[in-house]
Structure 1
Amino acid sequence: MQRVPVGSGHLFFRQGDITTLACDAVVNAANSRLAGGGGVDGAIHRAAGIADLRRACEAIIAEIGSLPPGRAVLTPGFDLPARYIIHTVGPVWRGGKDNEPALLRDAYLNSLRLAHDNDIRTIAFPAISCGVYGYPVEAAARIALTALREGLEAGLVAEAGMVLHGAAAHATWADAAEEVL
């Protein structure tokens, strides 16, 4: 695992499975209905306990209708090693003409703000929008790392990081970190 000091905190990168990470909160790259699905979203639902997490997500959706891109909500972590799950919806890539960069930045920053508001000090993110939502990985990495840097410099959390699936993804994000940090 790589750790880089940023502000009074640290930014980390690691390759692996976000569902096994013991930290205050993991971030779920959710869909707008918080309904589970494939990729990270499905893995988090399975590891947390599908029935418990589904009930918590359904209660949120009953109250708000749907979760728009860039926003974030909180549930318990249930069976995960993490105490909480922060669910955020990243934008679907449509060529960059539908405000996708700002929405992706908001997904990271609003997750960090929600963490701060709930006394969460350590948080781990997946590569939001980089799977089936089709966001170009290199561009997403720069946006995400800039947002994480801003959040750490503002003292929103003590430690924030990326948990990446596979060596190629890890290398892409490490390269982006050299540019952004």
Structure 2
Amino acid sequence: MDKLQWIQRKIFTRDALLRECNGWRVLGHKIVFTNGCFDILHHGHLDLLARAASLGNKLVIGVNTDASVKRLKGPTRPVTHEQDRLFQLASLLCTDAICLFDEDTPKELIELVKPDILVKGGDYTIDKIVGADTVQQNGGQVHIIPFVEGYSTTSLIDRIRGL
């Protein structure tokens, strides 16, 4: 398999993701899930993803669609098209599966994947993490990974604009 196929095989529809996760579970793999817009991929994102991946055997990333990002972040976002964001994330060694979601939250995707571990970045508290209750009720864990200081998509955009 060439490198491009290796990357493309990590991008899943919901149905295909469910089958893949069920297969991993049968093999005894611990599934870690995180999600986000990942609009401009930066050091903070990469740190979060690497740390999340180290908590289990398989890292699944839920990615907001362009429409979902626009609803959450405003009319000037996303900067990077969803297909480009998927490709970038699939190119990472720590990533095992990626799936788009169009809802404002990843609740449905979390209920589908049923991860053993749910990971979010440092600006969250457990009571504010969508899907935390579902994961914990299924015997899973929720981890909050501290932010890497000085990295955010908004601050990068502001720097580029000279603000």
> TM-score over 0.5 for the alignment?
no
Task: Normalising by structure 2, report the TM-score.
Answer: 0.35
The two structures have a TM-score, normalised by structure 1, of 0.32
Which one scores higher on RCO, CA 8 angstroms, separation ≥ 6? 1
